[in-house]
């Protein structure tokens, strides 16, 4: 157990949506602590609330019960103080701005001086291995490269927390492997706290220090697995028995959640 | 006379084959420009041939050569009419109308309630025969160019409003969520995301407006005009059966209309360079 | 349906603004008349006067309503003063032109989509036809057609047809070409003939585009019919009423003709919208 501080803390978190087809209990009684420097994956089938939980942390949804704090303050205050960077499923880059322009977008909004903007753009492009692509337009880049630019954009203002919603879901497996490796290296270099939503069991096990297995109807946490794998992980680790054992435990957790239907 | 008919047929065949050949070439800018030019020239040649070959009454349908001659001798009249109708009437009305519509769209953007009420009403008004308001405008603003500009304002206002409102709704939820995570306020989000994303729609409205403005200014003059203006010239020339002058005015109208639309399309290309429709 | 209250609110606001504007625009005349009679008007007298003038700059809604009632319900339909008669004249030209324009537009679109030669040779004609501002030469067209013996309904209908065929061609070409490559490939795997692909895939896919362009086309047809009524000495139809009212300074007559034209447009577009909803619903595309 590490005794680093708790960065994200959810207590009895509850969220019910009112939809045209009746109320949807998206999150029920969620309790979770995420510590500084953790890489936490959220995995589960559709409707288990993993994206909803991420959005609550980002102040993009409001809970209907319980509390959640980011860095000790409410999600709204955390959002206003730009405590986190958010990466969506789609890159969502503005086609009318160059890659450099897109990365500068949050910096412009946050009032960072222009000279410093240029330096930050260079730094984060280098982190995601897109140096030299500053003047290109998004449509000139492949899907994988666009997503890397989107991650660079989320890193540019040095928030300590990164919230990522299935960022690699739309990419093919080979690109995905490469990006997973890069993300781990990035995490090691920057020491950020990362909350990562995914559909893929190998991805969750490979990337995380902690895996949160969720199940649907109502959305709740089924299992929290602390990963014994070392922080330094080459891709080959995915074929080791320890890896497979964790993956097995995740799969069991998912099945149990499903079996409640 | 048969010679002329033969000329028409040959001209049509030649023009058609050139265009078919052009269509088979690799798409290029000059081919895209050459095609309508060839088409236009063919049309003129066929027209000339048919009118002379079938001995059609030149009063009813003058040949292009006659029209060209009349055009050359009437440049001063045509210029004065152009300034009156296009510059004073159409252009000023266009700028006021499109500007007002754009600002109105921004104003009601903050009130979804008004939007929901205004969009159906706006779509409805855009379908009405606005030109029917021309006599009313003449009564309010007099015979001068101001009443024509007023008609143009009404004609371009609603299509521009509807398009701008649509454009402002064009940015998707994910983009707006991203702006929320940057704690960007309403104005920042408007300036950096929603306005650029709205540009394709705004230009659609602007382009539609160019045709409406010109037609509106000309037809409004049928309802009352001082002794100049393209609409005035057309209606009086029809009365005098001087149809060659009518066609000369039409040539000016067609050129002005195409140029106006073309300039808007050019600006659109530069502003919305990023849109898929511009990239293909 | 959730739009009903906002729409009614906007319409209600517009009527209030209308009454207010009537006061503003007609006040000068009222004051002038009172000044000549050496009277000054109280505010309520001013308002009452501005809402009941003979030749107001802006007639109040109830004045227009009264005129509409007078010329529709209170006149025999066959009388030359009846607004219903005039509306019918304009409507017949509009409808005929619209039907011809839709038929022409659809045939051209089918030809353009199926025949490369037609695509290359006809499409330029279609586009070029719109650079000539036909409304601007409506007077000339009427005069020329009259000279060759066509008068009355047909010349106006031809102008309407000219204006409505273009949106139909453009819309239908887009619609007939809208099925994506995957669906077309599927038809190929079933060895469907061009005709079968047309009836079972292309035509149904084009229905949304078809109805949208019909709405634009019918509105354009109406404008064409109204403008076409003006040159021939303004005898019959809503355009003629507009012109006559303009010549004789009969503002209330102008406004009532305008409102009738607006109502006609609304009814036609609304009918097409209704047919659109019913058809698309049956096709599951609503």
Shared domain for C116 and C224, answered yes or no, is yes
Model confidence band, residue B59 (pLDDT cutoffs 50, 70, 90): confident
> pLDDT tens digits, residue range C156-205?
999 999 999 988 998 898 889 888 887 888 888 888 888 888 888 888 88
**pLDDT, mean of residues B199-219:** 89
Most trustworthy range by pLDDT among A132-146, B101-115, B162-176: A132-146
Q: Is residue C78 part of a domain?
A: no
- Distance CA(B150)–CA(B129), nearest Å, equals 15
Model confidence band, residue B53 (pLDDT cutoffs 50, 70, 90): confident
Q: Are strands A65-70 and A6-19 parallel, antiparallel or unpaired?
A: antiparallel
Model confidence band, residue C126 (pLDDT cutoffs 50, 70, 90): confident
User: Which long-range CB contacts under 8 A does A69-72 form with residues at least 24 apart?
Assistant: A69/A8, A69/A9, A70/A7, A70/A8, A70/A161, A71/A7, A71/A160, A71/A161
Q: Decide which of 3.30.70.360, 3.40.50.300, 1.10.357.10, 3.30.420.10 is the CATH code for A6-83+160-259.
A: 3.40.50.300
Q: Is residue C145 part of a domain?
A: yes
Shared domain for C271 and C216, answered yes or no, is yes
| Percent of chain B whose predicted confidence (pLDDT) is above 70 | 99
Per the document, the length of chain B is 280
Is pLDDT of A239 > 80? yes
How many beta carbons lie within 10 A of that of residue B103, not counting itself? 12
CATH number, domain at C191? 1.10.3720.10
How many beta carbons lie within 10 A of that of residue C2, not counting itself? 6
- Give the neighbours of chain C: at least 3 Cβ pairs within 8 Å: B
Is pLDDT of B33 > 80? no
Q: Which of B260, B274, B249, B245 has its CA nearest to residue B206?
A: B260
Residue-range domain boundaries for chain A: 6-83+160-259, 93-158
Q: Is residue C256 part of a domain?
A: yes
Q: What is the pLDDT of residue C2?
A: 64
Q: Judge if ipTM > 0.85.
A: no
Q: By CA distance, what is B43's nearest residue in C?
A: C125
C-alpha to C-alpha distances, C112 to A27, B60, C126, C216, nearest whole angstrom: 56, 32, 11, 21
- Distance CA(C223)–CA(C160), nearest Å, equals 8
Q: What is the pLDDT of residue A184?
A: 92
Q: Is residue C116 part of a domain?
A: yes
Q: Across all residues in chain B, what is the average pLDDT?
A: 86
Q: Please count the structural domains in chain C.
A: 2
Out of A60, A94, A106, closest to residue B182 by CB: A106
Out of B61, B238, B258, closest to residue C231 by CB: B238
Residues from chain A contacting residue B199 (CB–CB below 8 Å): 96
Is the omega angle on the peptide bond into residue A218 within 30 degrees of 0, that is, cis? yes
- Give the neighbours of chain A: at least 3 Cβ pairs within 8 Å: B
Model confidence band, residue A1 (pLDDT cutoffs 50, 70, 90): very low
| Percent of chain C whose predicted confidence (pLDDT) is above 70 | 98
- Distance CA(B152)–CA(B148), nearest Å, equals 6
Q: Three-class SS of residue A49? A: coil
Out of C124, C133, C223, closest to residue B253 by CB: C133
Strands (E), chain C: none
> pLDDT tens digits, residue range A47-100?
889 999 999 999 999 999 999 999 999 999 999 888 999 999 888 889 889 999
**pLDDT, mean of residues B195-220:** 90
> pLDDT tens digits, residue range A151-170?
999 999 888 999 999 999 88
Residues from chain A contacting residue B279 (CB–CB below 8 Å): 139
Q: Across all residues in chain C, what is the average pLDDT?
A: 84
| Model confidence, pTM | 0.79
CB contacts < 8 A, B to C, total 150
Domain of C36 in residue numbering reads as 4-58
Most C CBs within 10 A among B90, B128, B138, hence the mutation to make, goes to B128
Out of A84, A88, A96, closest to residue B178 by CB: A88
> pLDDT tens digits, residue range B127-147?
778 888 888 888 888 888 888
Q: Is residue C267 part of a domain?
A: yes
Distance from the Cα of residue B246 to its chain's centroid: 19
C-alpha to C-alpha distances, C114 to A110, B46, C117, C177, C184, nearest whole angstrom: 56, 27, 9, 10, 14
Is pLDDT of A43 > 90? yes
Q: Is residue C251 part of a domain?
A: yes
- C-beta separation of B118 from C3 below 8 A: no
Q: Is residue C74 part of a domain?
A: no
Q: Across all residues in chain A, what is the average pLDDT?
A: 90
- C-beta separation of C239 from C226 below 8 A: yes
Shared domain for C206 and C246, answered yes or no, is yes
Lowest mean pLDDT among A127-131, B2-6, B18-22, C196-200: B18-22
Q: Is residue C67 part of a domain?
A: no
Q: Residues 86 to 145 of C: which have CB under 8 A from any B CB?
A: 117, 120-121, 124-125, 127-128, 130-133, 135-140, 143-144
How many beta carbons lie within 10 A of that of residue C28, not counting itself? 11
Whether chain C has a CB inside 8 Å of the CB on B129: the answer is: yes
- Distance CA(C145)–CA(B243), nearest Å, equals 13
Q: Three-class SS of residue B39? A: helix
Is pLDDT of B181 > 70? yes
């Amino acid at each position: 157990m590490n005794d680093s501080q708790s960065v994200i803390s959810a207590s009895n978190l509850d969220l019910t949506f009112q939809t045209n087809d009746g109320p949807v209990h998206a999150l029920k009684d969620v309790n979770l602590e995420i510590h500084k420097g953790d890489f936490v994956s959220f995995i589960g089938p559709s409707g288990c609330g993993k994206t909803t939980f991420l959005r609550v942390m980002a102040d993009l949804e409001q809970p209907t019960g319980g509390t959640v704090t980011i860095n000790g303050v409410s999600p709204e205050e955390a959002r206003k103080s730009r405590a986190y960077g958010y990466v969506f499923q789609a890159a969502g880059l503005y086609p009318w701005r160059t890659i450099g322009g897109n990365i500068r977008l949050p910096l412009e909004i946050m009032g960072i001086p222009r000279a410093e903007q240029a330096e930050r753009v260079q730094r984060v492009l280098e982190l995601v291995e897109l140096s030299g692509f500053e003047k290109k337009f998004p449509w000139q880049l492949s899907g994988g490269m666009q997503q890397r630019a989107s991650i660079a954009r989320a890193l540019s203002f040095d928030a300590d927390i990164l919230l990522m919603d299935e960022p690699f879901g739309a990419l093919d497996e080979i690109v995905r492997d490469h990006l997973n490796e890069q993300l781990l290296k990035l995490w090691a270099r920057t020491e950020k706290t990362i909350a990562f939503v995914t559909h893929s069991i190998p991805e969750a096990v490979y990337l995380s220090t902690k895996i949160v297995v969720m199940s649907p109807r109502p959305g709740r946490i089924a299992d929290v697995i602390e990963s014994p794998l070392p922080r330094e992980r080459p891709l080959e680790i995915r074929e080791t028995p320890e890896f497979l054992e964790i993956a097995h435990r995740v799969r069991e957790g998912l099945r149990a959640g499903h079996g409640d239907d | 006379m048969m010679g002329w008919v033969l000329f028409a047929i040959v001209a049509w065949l030649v023009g058609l084959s050139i265009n078919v050949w052009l269509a088979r070439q690799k798409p290029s800018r000059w081919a895209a420009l050459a095609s309508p030019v060839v088409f236009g020239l063919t049309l003129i040649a066929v027209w000339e041939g048919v009118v002379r070959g079938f001995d059609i009454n030149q009063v009813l349908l003058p040949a292009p050569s006659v029209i060209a001659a009349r055009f050359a001798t009437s440049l001063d009249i045509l210029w004065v009419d152009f300034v009156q109708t296009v510059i004073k009437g159409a252009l000023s009305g266009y700028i006021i109308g499109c500007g007002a519509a754009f600002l109105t769209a921004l104003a009601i953007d903050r009130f979804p309630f008004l939007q929901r009420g205004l969009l159906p009403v706006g779509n409805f008004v855009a379908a009405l025969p606005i030109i029917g308001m021309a006599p009313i405008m003449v009564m309010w603003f007099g015979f001068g160019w101001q009443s024509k500009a007023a008609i143009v304002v009404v004609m371009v206002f609603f299509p521009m409003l509807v398009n701008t409102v649509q454009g402002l709704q064009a940015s998707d939820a994910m983009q707006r969520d991203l702006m929320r995570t940057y704690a960007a306020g309403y104005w920042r989000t408007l300036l950096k995301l929603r306005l650029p994303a709205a540009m394709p729609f705004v230009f659609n409205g602007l382009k539609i407006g160019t045709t409406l403005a010109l037609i509106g200014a000309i037809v409004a003059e049928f309802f009352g005009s001082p002794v100049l203006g393209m609409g005035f010239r057309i209606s009086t020339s029809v009365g005098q059966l001087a149809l060659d002058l009518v066609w000369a005015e039409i040539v000016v109208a067609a050129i002005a209309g195409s140029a106006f639309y073309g300039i808007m399309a050019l600006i659109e290309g530069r502003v919305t360079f990023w849109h898929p429709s511009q990239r293909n | 349906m959730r739009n009903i209250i906002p729409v009614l609110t906007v319409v209600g606001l517009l009527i209030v603004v209308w009454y207010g504007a009537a006061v503003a625009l007609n006040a000068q005349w009222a004051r002038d008349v009172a000044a000549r009679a050496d009277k000054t008007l109280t505010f309520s007298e001013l308002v009452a006067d501005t809402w009941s003038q003979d030749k107001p700059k802006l007639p109040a809604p109830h004045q227009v309503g009264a005129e509409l009632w007078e010329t529709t319900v209170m006149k025999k339909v066959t009388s030359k003063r009846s607004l219903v008669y005039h509306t019918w004249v304009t409507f017949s030209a509009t409808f005929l032109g619209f039907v011809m324009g839709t038929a022409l537009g659809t045939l051209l679109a089918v030809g353009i989509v199926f025949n490369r030669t037609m695509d290359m040779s006809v499409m330029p004609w279609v586009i070029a036809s719109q650079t000539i501002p036909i409304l601007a030469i409506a007077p000339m067209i009427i005069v020329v057609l009259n000279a060759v013996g066509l008068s009355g309904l047909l010349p106006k209908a031809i102008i309407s047809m000219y204006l409505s065929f273009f949106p139909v061609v453009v819309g239908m070409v887009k619609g007939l070409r809208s099925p994506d490559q995957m669906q077309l490939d599927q038809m190929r795997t079933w060895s469907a003939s061009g005709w079968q692909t047309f009836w079972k895939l292309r035509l149904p896919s084009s229905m949304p585009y078809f109805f949208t362009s019909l709405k634009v086309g019918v509105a354009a047809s109406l404008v064409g019919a109204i403008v076409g009524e003006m040159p021939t000495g303004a005898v019959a139809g809503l355009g003629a009423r507009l012109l006559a009212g303009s010549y004789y300074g009969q503002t209330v007559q102008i406004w009532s003709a305008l409102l009738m034209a607006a109502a006609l447009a609304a009814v036609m577009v609304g009918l097409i919208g209704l047919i659109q909803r019913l058809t698309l619903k049956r096709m599951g595309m609503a």
